[in-house]
């Protein structure tokens, strides 16, 4: 009985550079399936509370990375243990940052339905989105300069595990494909 229940629990992991559409895609999936959504920017904003300057163009500090990624790992484990499907999304710029989420997935020995996505976007379009996001009062303080720094450090995830989607022209078709993939796994 436990394996059957676990087979109906999903771990969706979405990574990519800022403004590649991660949050938009995740929110659409959440609205369709009701999965629990963990976003690095939301946990960071919660952690910093009133000390987060939205006008500043900055990246996560090492302390913020450690707290946010550790906190998401704990929350994901608790949600899955409670029988809830989850979506995790954030930049996760290298394999060492991605490893804890992958370890959670692998730790269930195939009894957890895990889908991994890497979203990309043309740099000019991403920078345009960043400017709009800043104007609209985002939870994410990274602007164009922060984006460029993160882009230099970002290591693309392996194609063997992650399905790659380009969201330069929008997220509608990406959302449809991911929702279809989830549906096929149910």
Query: Where residue 2 falls among pLDDT bands split at 50, 70, 90?
Result: very low
Residue 86, strand partner residues: 11, 36
Closest CA to 93 of 51, 142, 32: 142
- Residue 116, pLDDT above cutoff 90: yes
The whole-angstrom separation of Cα 97 and Cα 62 is 12
**How far is residue 26's CA from residue 24's CA, in Å, rounded to a whole number?**
6
Query: What is d(CA 91, CA 22) in angstroms, rounded to the nearest whole number?
Result: 9
Q: What is the DSSP string of 79-114?
A: HHHTT--EEEEE---SHHHHHHHHHHHHTTTT-SEE
Residues β-bridged to residue 37 = 87
Average pLDDT value for the chain: 88
d(CA 7, CA 110): 8
**Total Cβ atoms within 10 A of residue 108:** 16
Pairing label, strands 163-166, 113-120 = parallel
- List the single range of 11-20, 102-111, 138-147 with lowest mean pLDDT: 138-147
Over 116-159, what HEC string results?
Answer: EEEEECCHHHHHHHHHHHHHCCCCCCCCHHHHHHHHHHCCCCCC
For residue range 32-88, list pLDDT tens digits in order.
Answer: 999 999 999 888 878 777 555 555 666 777 888 889 899 999 999 999 999 999 999
Phi-psi region of 16 (alpha: psi -120 to 50; beta: other; left: phi over 0): left
Q: Average of pLDDT values for 108-121?
A: 92
What is the distance in angstroms between the CA of the first residue and the CA of the last residue of the chain?
A: 16
């Amino acid at each position: 009985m436990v394996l059957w229940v676990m087979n109906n629990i999903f771990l969706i992991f979405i990574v990519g550079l800022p403004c590649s559409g991660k949050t938009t895609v995740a929110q659409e999936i959440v609205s369709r399936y009701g999965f629990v959504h963990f976003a690095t920017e939301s946990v960071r904003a919660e952690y910093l509370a009133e000390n987060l300057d939205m006008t500043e163009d900055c990246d996560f500090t090492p302390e913020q990375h450690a707290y946010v990624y550790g906190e998401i790992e704990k929350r994901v484990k608790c949600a899955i243990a409670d029988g809830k499907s989850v979506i995790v999304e954030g930049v996760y710029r290298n394999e060492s940052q991605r490893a804890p989420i992958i370890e959670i997935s692998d730790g269930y020995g195939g009894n957890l339905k895990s889908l991994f996505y890497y979203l990309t976007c043309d740099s000019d379009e991403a920078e345009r989105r960043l400017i709009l996001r800043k104007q609209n009062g985002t939870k994410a303080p990274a602007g164009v300069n922060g984006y460029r720094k993160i882009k230099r450090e970002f290591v693309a995830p392996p194609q063997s595990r992650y399905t790659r989607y380009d969201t330069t022209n929008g997220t509608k078709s990406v959302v449809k494909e991911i929702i279809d993939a989830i549906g096929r796994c149910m």
